[in-house]
Amino acid sequence: MTVQQESVVTPERLAQGITWQEWMDKIERNKEKFQENYDQTTLNADDVAKIKELKEKANGPVSCLALGEPWCTDVVRGLPVMARLAEETGIDLKIFFRDENLDIMNEFLYKGEYQSIPVFVFYSKDHEYLGHWIERSKKAREEIKTLLNPLTAKLREPDLSDEDRAKYMAEYADFQNGPIWDSWRQSEVTEIRELLEANVK
């Protein structure tokens, strides 16, 4: 979507965001899972080098505003990746709790309608808006539709036996904690790199 002309995200407002460490200090839910995803994020050296190169351009990305909430699975998976990427490329990450900053959220609605998170908004040295990324990668969207949704549909069956419920719950836990998240983390980085490559001249 097109960001409104008069953004509520001024340089002064952006500066009010918190760091990754401050986020980790403040949250009470999913702290271990956030840390686990942070620790398991391994960045491709080529992606890091390219984003660093883009950062050095005249209108390169120097800051990223992130919107999230600690109860959201997409944030649990996606925000640690952005934190690692910001650290390794020197981009200044400022995090905001979505529900306390709905005026910001309303500028970056998914499909102009949904308050989907996380949201990562990139700005240049002159606070020029460079683009934003929302919620999850295309790869994650497709695999949730083809792999996860059929599983959750089984869990909603009204006549499910206790044995089958336990089996499907175990499959669901394996999916949520399994290696597939690593490919989703990489696809997130790839899409962010492509977004910046397309918008940094």
Is the predicted pLDDT of residue 155 greater than 90, yes or no? no
Q: Domain with 189 in it: what CATH number?
A: 3.40.30.10
Do 133 and 150 lie in one domain? The reply is: no
Asked if residue 86 and residue 27 are part of one domain, the reply reads: yes
Helix/strand/coil for 34: helix
Domain that holds residue 150: 140-172
Give me the number of domains the chain comprises. Answer: 2
**Would you call 102 helix, strand, or coil by DSSP?**
helix
Confidence category of residue 2, pLDDT binned at 50, 70, 90: very low
For the cut 90, the answer to whether the pLDDT of residue 145 exceeds it is no
Mean pLDDT of 47-72: 96
53 and 103 in a single domain? The answer is yes
Q: What is the mean pLDDT of residues 4-9?
A: 80
Rounded average pLDDT over 42-58: 96
In a shared domain, residues 86 and 161:
no
Average pLDDT, the chain: 92
**CA dist., res. 86 & res. 62, Å (int):** 9
**pLDDT (tens digit, 9 = 90+) per residue, 101-130?**
999 999 999 999 999 999 999 999 999 999
- State the pLDDT confidence band at 152, using cuts at 50, 70 and 90: confident
Examine the domain organization and report whether 152 and 112 are in the same domain: no
Cα–Cα separations (whole angstroms), residue 35 to 20, 70, 76, 77, 143: 11, 12, 9, 10, 24
**Beta strand pairing call for 61-68 and 92-97:** parallel
pLDDT at 179 over 80: no
pLDDT reading at 84 higher than 60: yes
Question: How large a percentage of the chain has pLDDT more than 70?
Answer: 96
- What average pLDDT score do residues 71-98 get? 97
Q: Is residue 167 part of a domain?
A: yes
Is the predicted pLDDT of residue 199 greater than 50, yes or no? Answer: yes
* Residue 47 and residue 189 in contact, taking contact as beta carbons nearer than 8 Å: yes
What's the pLDDT score for residue 193? 97
pTM comes to: 0.89
Looking at the chain, the whole-number percentage of residues with pLDDT higher than 90 is: 75
